[in-house]
Amino acid sequence: MPLLSFKRLRAYIRRRTSKGSSARRKSPTFDNAALNRASDMPSPLAHNEVIQEIVMGAMGLIHGRDNVHISTSSPNGQKDIPTATPKPRRAFVEHFQSELRDKTMVPNAPGRQSHFRHNIECDGHNYRFSRVLGRGAHGVVRLAYDGSKDRPVAIKIIDRTQLLIDGVPVAKDEGEDGYISDICRERHALKLAGATGSPFLPTLLSFFQDFQYFYLVMPRYYISLSDRLEELRSLKQVMYMAELRLHAAEIVLAVEALHHYGCFHCDIKPENLMFTDHGHLVLVDFSLAEVGSGILEAGGRGTPGYIPPEALDGRTHYSGHAADIYAMGVVLLQMYLCPRQNDDIFNGNGDVTVSVKATWHHNEEVAGNLIQELMEKNPDLRIPMGVIKAHPFFHPTLDWCKVQNMECGPIRVPCASSETHHTRNFHSTVRHHSEVNGTMCT
């Protein structure tokens, strides 16, 4: 289904509300076909209760009448339905949003009575929604079950009504609905991630939408690298070099595959690195990803602490390639310093305050040297992707082909059957301490 066009709907409402418009003197009766032409919405959606109420409210605003009738030429012969008394313009926008929130559950408003559709059928798939896995700025990620494929999935539900002016998404400029373009960019980035064929990047299983939400269907992952670090901190344990080396290699391969396809993640952090059931890492959440040249506008894109210094030093643009490499360095630093808390690494503004060289462990200078090169403040001197794989931390200990083919057994595997978001969900696959300190992929 193509993206719904709100541009024509916005122009339609503004044209009819403009001062002196002859349209104000026309009859206030409209059929569903006219409404469909105005909003480019498929005909079945025009019979949706929420849309009918919103459109009737809009017609009340347009005509300045207390009661407006809309002809609903439904098969069962339903009669015209009167609307409530229209409100002033500002109040109408608030009423518009509140109507949506009352009729369908808005992800960011868990306290409201939910009329959210818990079952959705689309493209031969039957999705049954379950609990919320995480929340974002404009939506949530929900656990769902795909009955047609007999598998759990994660569905990112993005609320398209969060940024509205007169019921349409806020536009960045005259020719683009910015909010919708952000969704398109995320979808495009996810499709590129799947096209790489990398086992360390997610696959967009499906994408569909209705009047209020966009739905991005992705594989279900239960535990993040952040959970793993919290587990180690709670146990006051370090992350062994073999485990750190494998996780670092998988992150490098994921980012390398993305950059090869002209995609830059821009938000690499432990929370966005998820474990598969077999204990391998996958880089997720492409809501801030950039596709194209990789030249990003200044101001910083991402999470404080993982944004490179050059993004905040006053320059107009910076490299997405170098930014992802810097963020990788911060992630490796957190694994390297575990079980130290994040409060010991980041200050109140989210900036990295710890000196990498001052934290080198005994006989682990090679790992510390790699992190220092990844986090080089000068982007022109920062280690490039091609050189990372040849760094002594990886070479000759690691066999990159075996890592790419997932032939390297992970140190710990998450308990895939666990449905709770809990940190202690790993079990060790290592029997002896010597195996941990040894090489895994030679």
- Identify which of 27, 220, 259 has the alpha carbon closest to the alpha carbon of residue 129: 220
Per the document, the length of the chain is: 442
Tell me the C-alpha distance between 164 and 11, whole Å. Answer: 14
Task: Mark residue 406 as left, alpha or beta (left: phi above 0; alpha: psi -120 to 50; beta: remaining).
Answer: left
| Reduced DSSP (H G I as helix, E B as strand, rest coil) percent helix, strand, coil of the chain, to 5 | 35, 20, 45
User: Is 402 marked as a binding-site residue?
Assistant: no
Angle between helices 241-260 and 320-337 (to 10 degrees): 170
- Both tokens of 251, joined, read 């992150």
Task: Mark residue 30 as left, alpha or beta (left: phi above 0; alpha: psi -120 to 50; beta: remaining).
Answer: beta
CA angle 323, 328, 333 (to 5 degrees): 125
Which phi and psi (to 5°) does residue 321 adopt?
Answer: -60, -50
- Both tokens of 107, joined, read 């992800």
The secondary structure of residue 381, as a DSSP letter, is: T
Tell me the C-alpha distance between 253 and 247, whole Å. Answer: 10
Asked if residue 356 lies in contact with residue 364, where contact means CB atoms within 8 angstroms, the answer is no
Question: H or E element: which one contains 428?
Answer: strand 426-428
C-alpha pair distances (Å), 95 with each of 69, 98, 99, 418: 19, 5, 6, 42
CA dihedral in degrees (416, 418, 420, 425; nearest 10)? -70
Omega before 396 within 30 of 0, i.e. cis: yes
Question: H or E element: which one contains 280?
Answer: none
Please give the annotated binding residues, written as ranges: 156
Please give the annotated binding residues for ATP, written as ranges: 156
